[in-house]
Chain A
């Protein structure tokens, strides 16, 4: 599947997740966030960069990991990314959809 953002065609999965994090940039993040009715604040960016860091370090993402992250608590996480926080934040961060059930 392709995603067309700011005139650039991007390769994405069926669910709309970027297949290559190296193609990610802030404009793409802003666009995907807009599609999910989210306006990115400084706190959002902090979380997005943290998520990318975890993925680069091969750490599996989970809600428990968010609790232990030290940068955000679960309540805030749900407030920042309403309607499925881990699913939506990873999409905006340009990383694969988490596979964990928890």
Chain B
């Protein structure tokens, strides 16, 4: 079966667990439908591909009205950790892989993973700080050039 979307290009700019999962589920979903997919990690999105940080992403409890929690409560110490723990538990029930395993699945599925050069420089990161599965460090221009055929879609998360 053919589909009009041929390639999905995602830009993940946030370091919260819900945004990382949104990008991963969509990128994986594309591959599962026979659509090419790539993710460009920039700014705080880089947290999701840093070896030391990727398993410690949190849910944002402050400034997130959908948490249905008073902002002052969300700001208390330990609140983010608690909310994250609860969310991870629910995700495990749905057989959602942890961030590290999800990245392995994406890479094995042929989803390309790129780090943003500007953000890598800004955060003073080295290649070895980033996951082994990473396909490379690109400028945004390089990433645009990956949209090299008809039916490419670019999505900012």
A contact set with B: CB distance below 8 Å? 60, 62-65, 67, 73-75, 78, 82-87, 100-102
| Cβ of B29 under 8 Å from chain A | yes
B residues near A65, Cβ cutoff 8 Å: 95
The reply to whether B29 and A62 form a contact with Cβ atoms under 8 Å apart is no
Would you call B105 and A101 a contact (CB within 8 A)? no
The answer to whether B108 and A64 touch across the interface, beta carbons within 8 angstroms, is: no
Of listed B32, B95, B104, residue having the most chain A CB within 10 A: B32
Evaluate whether A84 and B108 lie within 8 angstroms (CB atoms) in the complex, with A64-B97, A101-B25, A102-B95 already known: no
A3 shortest CB reach to chain B, Å: 15
Residues of B within 8 A of A100 (CB): 95
Q: How many residues of chain B get a CB closer than 8 Å to chain A's CBs?
A: 17
Pick the residue among A60, A74, A87 that contacts B109 (CB under 8 A): A74
Scan B100-134; emit 1 where CB is below 8 A from any A CB, else 0. Answer: 01001100111000000000000000000000000
What is B's interface to A at a CB cutoff of 8 Å?
Answer: 25, 28-29, 31-34, 94-97, 101, 104-105, 108-110
- Which residues of chain A are within 8 angstroms of B108 by Cβ–Cβ distance? 67, 73-75, 78
**Contact partner of B33 among A67, A73, A84, CB < 8 A?**
A84
Bound together, the chains give a CA A64 to CA B25 distance in angstroms of 12
Of chain B, the residue at the smallest CB distance from A84 is B34
Q: Which listed residue, B32, B97, B104, touches A86 by the CB 8 Å rule? A: B32
- Shortest C-beta distance, B38 to chain A (Å), equals 15
Task: Tell whether, in the assembled complex, residue A63 and residue B34 are in contact, meaning their CB atoms are under 8 Å apart.
Answer: no
Across-interface contacts of B109 in A (CB, < 8 A): 63, 74-75, 78
Is B32's CB under 8 angstroms from A64's CB?
no
Distance of A18 from chain B, by nearest CB (Å): 17
Taken together as a complex, chains A and B put the C-alpha atoms of A9 and B34 apart, in Å, by 29
